[in-house]
Structure 1
Amino acid sequence: MTPAASSALFSGPFALGTFSARGCGTPSYPGLVTPEGEVLDLRAALDEPGLTVVTLLERWDTVLPRLRDLAASRTGDRRPLAELNVHAPVEPRQVFQSGANYRQHVIDLEMAHRSSDDPRTEGEARAEIAEIMDRRAAKDLPYVFIGLPSAITGPYDDVVLPHWCEKPDWELELAAVISKPAYRVPVEEALSYVAGYTIANDLTDRACVFRRDMPAIGTDWLRSKNAPGFTPLGPWLVPAAFLADPGDLRVTLKLNGETMQDESTQDMLFGVARLISYASQTARLLPGDLVLTGSPAGNGMHWGRLLRDGDVMEGSITALGTQRTRCIAEQA
């Protein structure tokens, strides 16, 4: 699939993506896309036949001025976006995912899982959970776990719901894309390690999140989040320089045209810088890696309406564009 026609696909003079020509077996390539929907093949423009978005990110600070020049020059062989397949904008080596990072989302989830014999009123329960969330943001640490690159799919690809998946849910998220190796980075410097941002829909089977046979172990993120195609990504990687503030973007998901999620990244408990810094205290982040920042309120569990065959999800984030994916139920 390709994006719907738009006068402006994203903010800024250009974005990056991964494309292929229509037709069977055509190889993908990194491209510079303009807001008007023209794509420049960066392998030819930079005279690097083996170029990928990741190898481009490995020298981001030096290549970014060159990309600005290419976008401004209007030179090179540019193809209409409508003639191309759009793939996930980057193939990361590592995916870092943040859980329980939106204040209202966590409150809603806690309320949804509240025990039937909870003596508190709904108002009392919400107030107590909200107080815990505020204390987390002030004094505690982010909750970050690892996802699989093999779960990533394109921004317009169909999403297959496995036959064993009982409660598939959506989680639209802002994703930061790393530009250079980051290890033990202080919060104050963390945003300098971000090349840009994109959109991720971190699908989750709610029935698999907690192990039924070993509840003391806790969450099972492998089974609940990492089926093939469970992370639609993109459509674009928009350079960080073109976003005024990643902490003030609107995250919106529509299901079959009905708005389900509509929240600002201001509701994050831990901002992008704190998440990157925290993850880097343990792991070495690499160019092209993704840091997913968590999902806001409005998931299927909140609405009592989970994904099913034929559903169409449309996810957008301010300045980053829109992805559109259709759910296909796998036959047992």
Structure 2
Amino acid sequence: MPDPLPTHAGPFALGTFSSGTDAFPGLVTGARVRDLSDQVPSVRALFDDWDTRLPRLHELAASADGTWHELAGLRVLAPVEPGQILQSGANYRKHVVDLVAAEKESVHGATPEEARADAEKMMDERIRSGVPYVFLGSPRAMCGPYDDIVLPELGEQHDWELELALVIGKSGRNVPAEEAMSHVAAYTICNDLTTRDRLYRPDLKAIGTDWFTAKNADTFLPTGPFLVPADFVGDPNDLRITLRHNGVVRQDESTKDMIFDIPRLIAYVSTTTTLRPGDLLLTGSPAGNGAHWGVFLKAGDVVEAEITGLGHQRNTVRSQA
């Protein structure tokens, strides 16, 4: 466990922990964790009846009853096992403008000023009339917030993508944007890693991107440390996202820069899939990925990440044994 202990907004947070071989759902208050096994079998089960569970969690946080542990003595696991993971791509304006402008310069010969002006015009139009880009991720890519990131044998351009993620607390299909926030139970941190040089299949160019291979290696989705109830987080469109690679700040942006905000993301994905309690929705990553800096992950690197009020992650990178 890193020092100091991770902090969170509000009087408590939720997570999954281990004091040995068995994992248990826990309620975190400061430096202590109450075992919730006497209440639910898993953290995900809390969201099946979130509106009823939340007041009870307030009561438990204020009570000395139950089994309590010192957080420093526990292993912090990924906080929830989601039903599905929905991932939003190309959802930060500055990030996408940088990518489009770079292509216009290198491929089309535009000047830097022309390229950026054209890219910004494209993004403004996308905000007005476009729709999000969303794909599915594998829950088996998840690992804990302090676990090692294990680089797969294939590929060399292993990249970081820090993201704000939300947990669904109420089922819904075709959810109107104006009602979407009532479906959000909690928030957490996800680092959605990507192997850039495995993203496109040279043998199947017509099919396009290979998200499964590029993004779903084991340990490629460090998640947590906690789930912080939405009531404690404040405005999710005004949170700071910061990632450091070997101590160097690489990503540092506000969620205000999202192209499609959380209500629009929820409304969009729910036109295709029924959202269920415990589903995880990642909202995209801001500018500052390794591809931007020309720096990629290698064994021995340390990645540190934080989002306002949600705690922090610290992952060491290693090669497969």
TM-score over 0.5 for the pair = yes
CA deviation after TM superposition for structure 1 residue 117, in Å = 4.5
Q: Which residue of 2 aligns with 1:163?
A: 153
Tell me, yes or no, if structure 1 residue 181 matches structure 2 residue 176: no
1:98-130 deviation per Cα after TM superposition (whole angstroms, max 9, x unaligned): 000000111222344456342210121111111
1:191 corresponds, among 173, 181, 186, to 181
2:228 corresponds, among 218, 223, 238, to 238
Q: Which residue of 2 aligns with 1:18?
A: 16
Q: Which amino acid aligns with 1:28?
A: A
Q: Which residue of 2 aligns with 1:125?
A: 115
Normalised TM-score (structure 1): 0.93
1:288-315 deviation per Cα after TM superposition (whole angstroms, max 9, x unaligned): 1110000000000111111111111011
Q: Which residue of 1 aligns with 2:28?
A: 33
Q: Which amino acid aligns with 1:191?
A: M
Normalised TM-score (structure 2): 0.97
State how far apart, in whole Å, the 2-side matches of 1:203 and 1:130 are. 26
2:295 corresponds, among 305, 314, 317, to 305
Tell me, yes or no, if structure 1 residue 108 matches structure 2 residue 98: yes
Tell me, yes or no, if structure 1 residue 225 matches structure 2 residue 220: no
1:96 corresponds, among 80, 83, 86, to 86
Q: Which amino acid aligns with 1:198?
A: T
Structural RMSD (CA): 1.4
Q: Which residue of 1 aligns with 2:264?
A: 274
State how far apart, in whole Å, the 2-side matches of 1:207 and 1:113 are. 17
Q: 3-state DSSP class of the match of 1:40?
A: strand
Q: Which residue of 2 aligns with 1:61?
A: 51
CA deviation after TM superposition for structure 1 residue 87, in Å = 0.3
In structure 1, list runs of 5 or more residues that go unmatched. none
> 2:105 touches 2:111 (CA, 8 Å); kept in 1?
no
State how far apart, in whole Å, the 2-side matches of 1:316 and 1:220 are. 28
Identity of aligned residues (%): 55
**CA distance change for structure 1 residues 258 and 90 in 2, over 3 Å: closer, same or farther?**
same
Q: 3-state DSSP class of the match of 2:99?
A: helix
In structure 2, list runs of 5 or more residues that go unmatched. none
State how far apart, in whole Å, the 1-side matches of 2:123 and 2:106 are. 22
> 1:109 touches 1:301 (CA, 8 Å); kept in 2?
no
CA deviation after TM superposition for structure 1 residue 214, in Å = 2.5
**CA distance change for structure 1 residues 227 and 113 in 2, over 3 Å: closer, same or farther?**
farther
> 2:101 touches 2:118 (CA, 8 Å); kept in 1?
no
2:139 corresponds, among 117, 125, 149, to 149
